[in-house]
């Protein structure tokens, strides 16, 4: 009996422990969805969130720097985002060729509407390190050396509504040296003025061995602007802000609440006032006292994330979202949604098209990465969307606008006659990929509003896709006017939710409108520049066939070139999806692509309308 009682009590103890562990596991950020990515595809075979607009806002160009930043720097990374004074601000750091290879500087681009962006402005210039500078434990000695910039925090909006922009000057004595070893120079700050100009540069915090006596900018307390000083003091008295400084600051700095070397901190508040913290590798913890102290830091259960940033925030519908690369690579870019800020239940695609890396360089990883949104307190865009920024290949800078609530399903079939739609709402339900040299937007042609896909980018393409209700039988009607028939091309594709294509139609550069038939293309009609083409296509996934009428002419029944169970997406794009990088690609690219700074001849395609019906 005693033995049985002992076994019984042991069983209860084990059960209690398991239940306690289960409760503990649930009281942290975790993922309970079943969707996983397939890294053989840059889009991971994820279904896209509806209405996401990816817009390139800076494109590197070494050969023609006047078309880029004026310097020709090709390592551009770690963007940060704020919305202030009815303006979007994106800060990013820039090195000449590769990561932490001096010289480095920090720039800002701005936009009133999130669509059109300014040329970059240098906010923190290249900084000369005094000759003879050394680091304890490192044999190098600085000679004609410039600093590199590294910052995990870009902006701070004070209670008095002053916007501060911040950066950090680090030191790399050679290619193996670490700018985030706590032995850099210090953090700099300046105020953003309401007229778009910037105040003087000050150091807001020094690392050991540095002070106003041996640095090139004064300490912030020397400013004659009391409001600026107050804003800086307020910033440094906020533990959640200081948590972002841990990597660059001296490891023993009393300003930092949690001194462990967890990377790329960001946070959001739960409904009960607790704070969720997130770091690289999907590390997470919860603070009950506004970041002064933290609970255990653990990997968020079932989150897949490597050494790339993860972003979390509360969205305008009262839910929460995390955005990250859900793989051991830096692709795809995905979003997951939670109703309570802890339990994340789904995974949808935000960006799955990887631009060709044009310029090689140290630690330049492939893919859309280092995502950041607008930190609590740094502004609320009036459209209610979730706004994000990221770098592509650590080379170009992009933003993404994500409609809220986040959804993957179309509520109804398309009835998009762009000229009849309210201004600014024409592409609300469209997903677009809009590079600077291949922009997507609404333009007037012959007095009629139309969807325009332009392209003069040799390495990227314009894309507009419409998600429709999943259909086994679908009829789609659209009108396309090519502006030329000797340059560029336009693909029209019918895809499933994983991005697999079953039908491809092409306006090719040889003036032919074709359909893909297995490995070959079938010529359907010759097309003329400036002439509208009314196309109506009816498909059936069960019979794997479709019929088509072009400007009143019936085309013989065609077969899908690949089977689909159902169609959920209609895609218009001026180039093909890249199959590179793969999971076997090298971790960094050592070469430059030939003619990386050149442009193709401009090609434009206009889409007047898209309507669909299906079941």
Q: Tell me, what's the pLDDT at 6?
A: 41
Give the C-alpha separation, 372 to 46, whole Å: 21
Closest CA to 240 of 191, 188, 277: 277
Predicted confidence (pLDDT) per residue in 452-467, tens digit: 999 999 999 999 999 9
Q: Read off the pTM.
A: 0.95
- Residue 567 structure tokens: 């169609």
**Considering the domain 415-614 in this protein, what is its CATH number?**
2.60.120.560
Residues (pLDDT < 50) of the chain are 1-25
User: Tokens 């462990």 map to which residue?
Assistant: 260
Look at the domain 30-402 and name its fold.
Neuraminidase (2.120.10)
CB 101 within 8 A of CB 175: yes
328 contacts: CB under 8 Å, gap ≥ 6: 39, 304, 306
Residue ranges per structural domain of the chain: 30-402, 415-614
Q: Tell me, what's the pLDDT at 261?
A: 87
Q: Tell me, what's the pLDDT at 8?
A: 34
b/e sequence 178-189, b meaning 16+ C-beta within 10 Å: bbbbbbbbbbbb
Give the C-alpha separation, 511 to 144, whole Å: 57
Q: Tell me, what's the pLDDT at 19?
A: 35
Closest CA to 566 of 518, 505, 494: 494
Average pLDDT over the chain, rounded to whole?
94
For the chain, helix, strand, coil in percent to 5 are: 10, 40, 55
> Could you tell me which residues are beta bridge partners of residue 481?
606
CB 57 within 8 A of CB 109: yes
SS3 5: helix
CA torsion sign for 211, 213, 216, 218 is: positive
> Could you tell me which residues are beta bridge partners of residue 583?
none
- Residue 250 structure tokens: 């001296």
Q: Tell me, what's the pLDDT at 1?
A: 37
Q: Tell me, what's the pLDDT at 579?
A: 83
Write the CA distances from 232 to 155, 159, 225, 575, integer angstroms: 11, 11, 11, 48
Predicted confidence (pLDDT) per residue in 317-337, tens digit: 999 999 999 999 999 999 999
Give the C-alpha separation, 36 to 20, whole Å: 28
Q: Tell me, what's the pLDDT at 62?
A: 98
- Residue 436 structure tokens: 């600077």
Give the C-alpha separation, 594 to 591, whole Å: 9
Q: How many CB atoms lie within 10 A of CB 543?
A: 12
b/e sequence 146-177, b meaning 16+ C-beta within 10 Å: bbbbbbbbbbbbbeeebbbbbbbbbbbbeeeb
Closest CA to 321 of 285, 273, 374: 374
């Amino acid at each position: 009996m005693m033995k049985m009682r002992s076994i019984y009590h042991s069983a209860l103890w084990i059960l209690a422990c398991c239940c306690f562990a289960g409760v503990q596991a649930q009281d942290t950020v975790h993922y309970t969805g079943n969707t996983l990515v397939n890294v053989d595809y840059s889009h991971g075979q994820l279904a896209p969130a509806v209405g996401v607009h990816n817009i390139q806002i800076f494109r590197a160009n070494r050969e023609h720097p006047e078309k880029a930043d004026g310097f020709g720097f090709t390592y551009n990374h770690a963007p940060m985002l704020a919305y202030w004074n009815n303006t979007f601000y994106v800060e990013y750091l820039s090195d000449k060729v590769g990561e932490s290879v001096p010289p480095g500087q920090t720039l800002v681009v701005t936009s009133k509407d999130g669509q059109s962006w300014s040329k970059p402005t240098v906010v923190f210039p290249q900084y000369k390190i005094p000759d003879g500078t050394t680091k304890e434990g490192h044999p190098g000695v600085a000679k004609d050396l410039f600093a590199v910039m590294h910052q995990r925090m870009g902006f701070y909006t004070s209670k008095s509504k002053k916007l501060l922009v911040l950066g950090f000057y680090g030191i790399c004595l050679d290619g193996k040296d670490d700018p985030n070893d706590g032995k850099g120079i210090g953090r700099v700050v300046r105020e953003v003025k309401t007229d778009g100009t910037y105040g003087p540069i000050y150091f807001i915090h020094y690392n050991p061995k540095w002070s106003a006596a041996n640095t090139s900018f004064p300490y912030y307390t020397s400013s004659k602007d009391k409001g600026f000083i107050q804003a800086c003091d307020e910033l440094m008295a906020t533990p959640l802000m200081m948590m972002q400084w841990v990597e660059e600051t001296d490891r023993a700095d009393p300003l930092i609440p949690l001194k462990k070397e967890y990377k790329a901190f960001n946070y959001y508040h739960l409904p009960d006032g607790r704070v969720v913290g997130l770091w690289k590798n999907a590390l997470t913890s919860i603070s009950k006292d506004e970041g002064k102290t933290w609970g255990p830091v653990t990997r968020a259960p079932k989150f897949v994330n490597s050494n790339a940033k993860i972003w979390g925030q509360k969205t305008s519908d009262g839910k929460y979202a995390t955005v990250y690369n859900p793989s051991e690579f830096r692709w795809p870019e995905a979003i997951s949604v939670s109703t309570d800020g802890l339990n994340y239940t789904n995974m949808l695609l935000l960006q799955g098209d990887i631009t060709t890396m044009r310029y090689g360089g140290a630690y330049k990883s492939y893919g859309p990465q280092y995502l950041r949104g607008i930190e609590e307190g740094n502004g609320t865009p009036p459209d209610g969307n979730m706004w994000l920024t990221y770098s592509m290949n650590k080379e170009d800078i992009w933003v993404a606008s994500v409609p809220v609530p986040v959804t993957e399903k179309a509520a109804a079939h398309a009835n998009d006659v762009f000229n009849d739609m309210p201004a600014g709402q024409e592409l609300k339900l469209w997903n677009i990929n809009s590079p600077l040299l291949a922009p997507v937007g609404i333009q007037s042609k012959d007095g009629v509003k139309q969807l325009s896909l332009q392209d003069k980018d040799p390495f990227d393409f314009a894309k507009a896709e419409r998600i429709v209700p999943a259909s086994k039988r679908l009829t789609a009607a659209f009108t396309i006017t090519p502006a030329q028939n000797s340059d560029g091309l336009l693909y029209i594709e019918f895809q499933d939710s994983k991005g697999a294509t079953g039908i491809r139609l092409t306006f090719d550069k040889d003036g032919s409108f074709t359909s893909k038939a297995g490995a070959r293309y079938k010529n359907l009609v010759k097309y003329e520049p400036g002439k509208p083409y009314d196309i109506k296509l009816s498909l059936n996934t069960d019979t794997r066939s479709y019929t088509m009428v072009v400007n009143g002419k019936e085309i013989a029944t065609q077969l899908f070139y690949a089977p689909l169970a159902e169609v959920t997406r209609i895609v218009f794009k001026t180039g093909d999806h890249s199959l590179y990088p793969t999971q076997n690609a090298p971790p960094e690219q050592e070469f430059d692509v030939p003619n990386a700074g050149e442009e193709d001849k401009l090609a434009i395609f206009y889409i007047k309308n898209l309507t669909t019906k299906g079941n």
